[in-house]
Structure 1
Amino acid sequence: MAITEKKISAETALYLYKNLLLPRRIEERMLMLLRQNKISKWFSGIGQEAVGVGVALSSEPEDYILPMHRNLGVFTARNVPLYPLFCQLFGKADGFTQGRDRSFHFGIPEHKIIGMISHLAAMMPVADGLALAMKLREEKAVAFSFCGDGATSEGDFHEALNLAAVWKLPVVFIIENNGYGLSTPTSEQYACEHLSDRAKGYGMHGFHIDGNNIFEVMKTVGQARELALKGEPVLIEAKTFRMRGHEEASGTHYVPDNLFEDWAEKDPIHRFELYIESEGLFTQAELEEVTKEIDQSFKQDLEKALDADDPVFEESKELARVYTPTSKEIPAHKDGVTYEHRFVDAIQASLRQAFEEDSSFLIMGQDIAEYGGVFKITEGFLDQFGKERIRNTPIIESGALGAALGLSLEGFKPVVEMQFADFISCGFNQIVNNIAKSQYRWSPSLNITIRAPHGGGVGAGPFHSQSVEGWFMQVPGLKVVVPGTVEDAMNLLYGSLYDPNPVLFFEHKKLYRSLRAKIPDKANFEPLGKAKVRREGTDATIITYGMGVQWALETAGAFESKGRSIEILDLRTLLPLDKEAIKATVQKTGRVLLLQEPSLTLGPLSEISAIISEECFEWLDAPVMRCASLDMPIPHDKGLEAGFMADRKLSEKIERLIRY
């Protein structure tokens, strides 16, 4: 089945042919190496080369491309050096991730390529963020984001398309519809005739094309790019076929034989060869010489990569990749005058101060612009900073968080407001698998701040009252901050905003308007990860954070009248933990009560208990005790909620600890 197109020069034909042939010949060599057990896994793109190559050749160097498993042609057409690319595919030390990840799970910012993660469609919101960055800078550039037919059922696909359309972003989404999501045929994945029909529902342009026709791919991509630059995002469905298994181990037994026969005739390289011969541009013998030339072009790099060193584990080196050191020098504001601030005022003031200082800050979230957010943190920000920086989003969490990742890769400092911390579950994958792991794997540092109003005590019920900070304590790469005083609300947020790592900043809803203190009007930068002794004591220590600090201060004051001296250690940051401060207070008092608002089982302070038992046992005069809320959902009724809360049992627990 030949392809037809207007005449092209022999030079152009040869250029296209070499670009199509190079990834094919590399893949065929990789399949041989797989059979020889020299590589561990391979996702074949054989039969799909026209899509990746066509997009890469039709885009401009300043355009971003976010490829998937089967887009080796994107890397080769963008002239990515083959030696480190092969090392990456072999898991060698000289690969782009230095053995920390495999296959195409990496990015090369200098080539404007941002690689995938295994969670399908997760990179599509990232493309939105990259596109927004380019739009804000008024650059004539587009983000091209790939996904397969299977990924179109994922929530991130729909959130990304909707956000792109609403914000009129310069982005083009490309579906490589190869007929199967692993073994599930498209007939069992969607009921519409074409996936590109979905574009209309989002107010986007949609194209359904022959993905094995290099001319049609390039022509459509060129049209899509022009539309995207005008703020009209595009969805392209490229119909193609996977001639191998999802990955080689899965085989192809589930695919009818006649499909292979039909699609073999539509093979993009075979069809292009027929076109070249029909136009009299090259003979078969000449094409065979081109094949030999292509094979020689990567042979040396391949052999060198096969002999390259494997990664060597060095604990300090690996741990150093998890976080970027906080090196920013921010002068302290020496304002001797103090003013009364509520907890909510301190957060707002800190946020405003950072936005006034640095135009790379912007905030995204639901109802944060004209409305000012449900807790009015950003009230007045729209008038002061404008719609480009104070951005309402649709009701999305994952899409906004993915966009924040894209913005951060381009040097912006995005802030994402979760309307309630409970809703962060809808963006969990973006936080723990995409944002948290990127720097360790390959990326530059990511300055992303996620603000999340949390906590109970206001009768908001089981879906608006949870304290979910503990969910994230076991995810290296994140920082988790929970202030318990007005001053910390201001200064720790300021520190979070300027920290070059992803930070989750939890703000207690009950403290917003109930807690007041006299503090300076300007925030001062504090590095994250340092605990603070809120009250000196000798008889026992309460280790806590957030709302627990206020509970502990009140209770310790009551015990002072009984002649008991209670120390209070405010952790402030749950990840990373200040172990030295924990050890110091245990050594000082010998008795420890761990106080937390979340439920008891596997709560945040269970980790503190383990640290004390393992590293401070000889200093203890009593067992480590815990005071936590009940193991149940948070009820709505205030009386029921009060029975659930940890503070109900705090005095009793301290008595037991001291009497032991």
Structure 2
Amino acid sequence: MHFNHGDKDETFLLNLYKRLLYPRLVEEKMLKLLRQGRISKWFSGIGQEAIAVGATLAMQSDEYILPMHRNLGVFTSRDIPLKKLMAQWQGKLSGFTKGRDRSFHFGTQEFKIIGMISHLGPQLALADGIALADVLAKRQKATLVFTGEGATSEGDFHEAVNVAAVWNLPVIFLIENNGYGLSTPISEQFKCKNLVDKAIGYGIQGIQIDGNNVLEVYQTIDRIAKDIHQNPRPVLVECLTFRMRGHEEASGTKYVPQELFDEWEKKDPVNNYQQFLLDEGILRPHIIVDIKNKYKKDIEIEVEDAFIDEEPDADSAQEEADMYFPYTQKLTEPQASSTEKRYLDAITDALDLAMQQHANLVLMGQDIAEYGGAFKITDGFAAKFGNNRVRNTPICESAIVGAGLGLSINGYKAVIEMQFADFVTVGFNQIVNNLAKTHYRWGEKADVVIRMPTGAGTGAGPFHSQSNEAWFTKTPGLKIVYPAFPEDAKGLLLSAIEDPNPVLYFEHKYLYRSLTSAVPDGYYTTAIGKAVTLAEGNQFAIITYGLGVHWALDYIKKHPECGATLIDLRTLQPWDKETVAEAVKSAGKVLILHEDTLTNGFGAEISAWIAEHCFEYLDAPVLRCASLDTAIPMNKVLEDNFLAKSRLAETVEKLLKY
């Protein structure tokens, strides 16, 4: 192994050695604790320390790094106290996640490190968003994100690198090619000769280096970072290394041929660099002993101190509250004047006002710039606000949702348009595992709104018509709004954008151009979590939202004698239990109506809640009127039969007979 120290002096070279040695000694301590049964799990990075240490030291201290679970050297090189790390690993209250997550599954704004989640690859898109924020703010920064050779097979890898390439984002994508994804060798992971060759397909620069040579890693990342400060663009770096321990200690290494261990043991990053310094006269054997003894003593103290740290208390109310970033909505009242607007135009108006109100707001979505979006909601926005803030995206929903979270982490707001709510499936993981859980895990906001053009009634068939709100209402950490009128569409969207928590905003496509009503002029907000009573009666109550509101209004108009109370929920998470309870108490009979399919639709949750909390006020079973438990057909006759509207009258009659 050849070490070229260039213009680096002895002080630098010695410090680099100490930085390299320290995580090795920490790992050796962790393996002892594991054998003693004092810790339960460990993902070892022994043999790979040069990558984490060299790359981290090459980055500026205020530049974000997104590591994985074998990158202890990132955290130690950013000078995070070992006691704090140990508390995190042991689930202590003083850890970064207060016992809510393990390992390196956390982030810290103080040290500008954003950890991974267990799903391989999603952190790559977050790096895109973080880098985009730097570009928009005209900060000359780079973002470093780690991934493994196995994760390069994931769609998240492709999407993130592709977005960074198209947008010229200053991201260093660092692949640690350590030979195995758990037990699967690289020969079964990819067909190309080298992973760095993948850079060619994205039209970006690719560099392959010896990942066990700490000086080569440092010099390469240092050179790239300085270059992309001036000329923003992504660079793919493949670091060749080897995993000397198992995927995690319990998995062992019996599947690895011994000759590979023999070969890579000779390339040990710590031993080789240490020998280089000895050969150069920078180190002496007694200095090595002194450094190791001091580190081992310090490690022992910090580890044992962490063991006696306080355990978290189980407080259910606090646990639930911490799913969301603390936020109290301050309503902006609407003006007295109003203008007749279509449902679609009310959404456009809200987005326009929000872009003026929030200079850090970025809109992203397929075809939303010059084309104006599939439904023309953002028509003219690119000309008015510029393509930096109104961004056409490649067709890669997962990366764009992840980029939205990255923008939020680095000081921006994001509104993402799903071209159709159905297409959210390919961004599902980022929503339910990253957006929803980020604050609970490590206290960071996820200031992202996802617009969801939803619903049937237009003959669009199984893949453009689904009502999929129930996929998300059961996911803690998300807020779900679903306006039925133009006035609410505007006010709730502005509220969603103000809210620093992740909000899924469902907007019904059928209502876009078919519904017009008076919408207050100017900027105003509508309370998230507050239902509205649209009609009052004493015979029964209809609880609904979205297009179901209009089905119910049509029914009441045709049957003025029915004596119905009509509740429009407007928000599904959180939902207005108080207003629903009042309706149940006054009417005694309840019908829950929604466009979604019957089984496990959101109406089931409302029904269960009423049965549990309002049973004594009921004069009949709670009935649900929902769409068929089938996919949504395209043919109008079949679609009409599918929709809950076709069964509304008979369901009301059944309810009133009790």
In the superposition, the TM-score normalised over structure 1's length comes to 0.98
In the alignment, is the contact (CA less than 8 A) between 1:326 and 1:527 conserved in 2? Answer: no
CA distance in structure 2 between the aligned counterparts of 1:325 and 1:74, rounded to whole angstroms: 30
CA distance in structure 2 between the aligned counterparts of 1:399 and 1:6, rounded to whole angstroms: 39
**1:104 matched residue in structure 2:** 104
In the alignment, is the contact (CA less than 8 A) between 1:4 and 1:275 conserved in 2? Answer: no
**2:569 matched residue in structure 1:** 571
In the alignment, is the contact (CA less than 8 A) between 1:343 and 1:515 conserved in 2? Answer: yes
**Aligned-pair distance for 1:51?**
0.2
CA distance in structure 1 between the aligned counterparts of 2:467 and 2:7, rounded to whole angstroms: 65
Q: Name the SS of the counterpart of 1:220 in structure 2.
A: helix
CA distance in structure 1 between the aligned counterparts of 2:332 and 2:463, rounded to whole angstroms: 41
In the alignment, is the contact (CA less than 8 A) between 2:334 and 2:521 conserved in 1? Answer: no
Of the structure 1 ranges 499-508 and 78-87, higher mean CA displacement relative to structure 2 is found in 78-87
Of the structure 1 ranges 286-295 and 639-648, higher mean CA displacement relative to structure 2 is found in 286-295
AA aligned to 1:261 is: D
In the alignment, is the contact (CA less than 8 A) between 2:134 and 2:140 conserved in 1? Answer: yes
**1:493 matched residue in structure 2:** 493
Query: In the TM superposition, what whole-angstrom CA distance separates every residue of 1:294-327 from its partner, at most 9, and x where no partner exists?
Result: 2123332211101112111111221221113433
**Aligned-pair distance for 1:140?**
1.4
**Aligned-pair distance for 1:571?**
1.0
Q: Name the SS of the counterpart of 1:510 in structure 2.
A: helix
**1:263 matched residue in structure 2:** 264
**Aligned-pair distance for 1:227?**
3.4
Would you say 1:214 and 2:192 are equivalent positions?
Answer: no
Query: In the TM superposition, what whole-angstrom CA distance separates every residue of 1:67-109 from its partner, at most 9, and x where no partner exists?
Result: 0011110111111122212111111111011101111000111
**1:589 matched residue in structure 2:** 587
AA aligned to 1:609 is: S
How does 1:211-610 map onto structure 2 within 5 Å?
A: 211-229=211-229, 230-329=231-330, 331-334=332-335, 336-560=336-560, 563-610=561-608
CA distance in structure 2 between the aligned counterparts of 1:358 and 1:211, rounded to whole angstroms: 43
**1:15 matched residue in structure 2:** 15
Q: CA RMSD in A?
A: 1.2
AA aligned to 1:99 is: G
What is the total number of aligned residue pairs between the two structures? 657
Counterparts in 2 of 1:639 and 1:26: CA distance versus 1, 3 Å: same
Of the structure 1 ranges 425-434 and 224-233, higher mean CA displacement relative to structure 2 is found in 224-233
Counterparts in 2 of 1:212 and 1:339: CA distance versus 1, 3 Å: same
**2:131 matched residue in structure 1:** 131
AA aligned to 1:616 is: C
How does 1:44-59 map onto structure 2 within 5 Å?
A: 44-59=44-59
**Aligned-pair distance for 1:6?**
4.4
CA distance in structure 2 between the aligned counterparts of 1:372 and 1:28, rounded to whole angstroms: 57
Q: Name the SS of the counterpart of 2:176 in structure 1.
A: strand
AA aligned to 1:633 is: A
AA aligned to 2:299 is: F
**Aligned-pair distance for 1:3?**
4.1
**2:171 matched residue in structure 1:** 171
Q: Name the SS of the counterpart of 1:34 in structure 2.
A: helix
AA aligned to 2:651 is: K
**Aligned-pair distance for 1:199?**
0.6
In the alignment, is the contact (CA less than 8 A) between 2:176 and 2:239 conserved in 1? Answer: yes
**Aligned-pair distance for 1:291?**
1.0
CA distance in structure 2 between the aligned counterparts of 1:325 and 1:41, rounded to whole angstroms: 33
Equivalent in 648, 652, 658 of residue 650 of structure 1: 648
How does 1:189-200 map onto structure 2 within 5 Å?
A: 189-200=189-200
The share of aligned pairs that are identical, in percent, is: 52
Instruction: Give the gaps of 5 or more residues in structure 1.
Output: none
**Aligned-pair distance for 1:362?**
1.2
Would you say 1:623 and 2:624 are equivalent positions?
Answer: no
Query: In the TM superposition, what whole-angstrom CA distance separates every residue of 1:429-456 from its partner, at most 9, and x where no partner exists?
Result: 0000001000000032222110010000
Query: In the TM superposition, what whole-angstrom CA distance separates every residue of 1:2-31 from its partner, at most 9, and x where no partner exists?
Result: 645448533222201100011010111011
In the alignment, is the contact (CA less than 8 A) between 1:405 and 1:435 conserved in 2? Answer: yes
AA aligned to 1:267 is: D
**Aligned-pair distance for 1:382?**
0.8
In the alignment, is the contact (CA less than 8 A) between 1:227 and 1:233 conserved in 2? Answer: no
In the alignment, is the contact (CA less than 8 A) between 2:66 and 2:123 conserved in 1? Answer: yes
In the alignment, is the contact (CA less than 8 A) between 1:18 and 1:294 conserved in 2? Answer: no
Q: Name the SS of the counterpart of 1:605 in structure 2.
A: helix
Q: Name the SS of the counterpart of 2:46 in structure 1.
A: coil
Query: In the TM superposition, what whole-angstrom CA distance separates every residue of 1:150-195 from its partner, at most 9, and x where no partner exists?
Result: 1101111000000001100111000001000011000000000110
CA distance in structure 2 between the aligned counterparts of 1:231 and 1:576, rounded to whole angstroms: 41
**Aligned-pair distance for 1:364?**
0.3
Q: Name the SS of the counterpart of 2:602 in structure 1.
A: coil
Of the structure 1 ranges 515-524 and 417-426, higher mean CA displacement relative to structure 2 is found in 515-524
**Aligned-pair distance for 1:223?**
2.1
CA distance in structure 2 between the aligned counterparts of 1:62 and 1:107, rounded to whole angstroms: 14
Q: Name the SS of the counterpart of 1:111 in structure 2.
A: coil
Query: In the TM superposition, what whole-angstrom CA distance separates every residue of 1:582-625 from its partner, at most 9, and x where no partner exists?
Result: 11111110111111101111111111111011111111111111
**Aligned-pair distance for 1:332?**
2.4
AA aligned to 1:345 is: D
CA distance in structure 1 between the aligned counterparts of 2:455 and 2:283, rounded to whole angstroms: 71
**Aligned-pair distance for 1:274?**
1.5
AA aligned to 1:371 is: Y
**Aligned-pair distance for 1:273?**
1.4
**Aligned-pair distance for 1:214?**
0.6
CA distance in structure 2 between the aligned counterparts of 1:130 and 1:330, rounded to whole angstroms: 30
Q: Name the SS of the counterpart of 2:127 in structure 1.
A: helix
In the alignment, is the contact (CA less than 8 A) between 2:331 and 2:526 conserved in 1? Answer: no
**1:29 matched residue in structure 2:** 29
**Aligned-pair distance for 1:464?**
0.4
CA distance in structure 1 between the aligned counterparts of 2:324 and 2:517, rounded to whole angstroms: 33
In the alignment, is the contact (CA less than 8 A) between 2:3 and 2:216 conserved in 1? Answer: no
Q: Name the SS of the counterpart of 1:475 in structure 2.
A: coil
In the alignment, is the contact (CA less than 8 A) between 2:54 and 2:218 conserved in 1? Answer: yes
CA distance in structure 2 between the aligned counterparts of 1:217 and 1:22, rounded to whole angstroms: 17
AA aligned to 2:522 is: K
CA distance in structure 2 between the aligned counterparts of 1:2 and 1:294, rounded to whole angstroms: 27
In the alignment, is the contact (CA less than 8 A) between 1:2 and 1:274 conserved in 2? Answer: no
Q: Name the SS of the counterpart of 2:173 in structure 1.
A: strand
CA distance in structure 1 between the aligned counterparts of 2:108 and 2:242, rounded to whole angstroms: 27
CA distance in structure 1 between the aligned counterparts of 2:337 and 2:319, rounded to whole angstroms: 45
AA aligned to 1:403 is: A
AA aligned to 1:579 is: K
In the alignment, is the contact (CA less than 8 A) between 2:325 and 2:443 conserved in 1? Answer: no
CA distance in structure 2 between the aligned counterparts of 1:20 and 1:262, rounded to whole angstroms: 21
AA aligned to 1:51 is: I
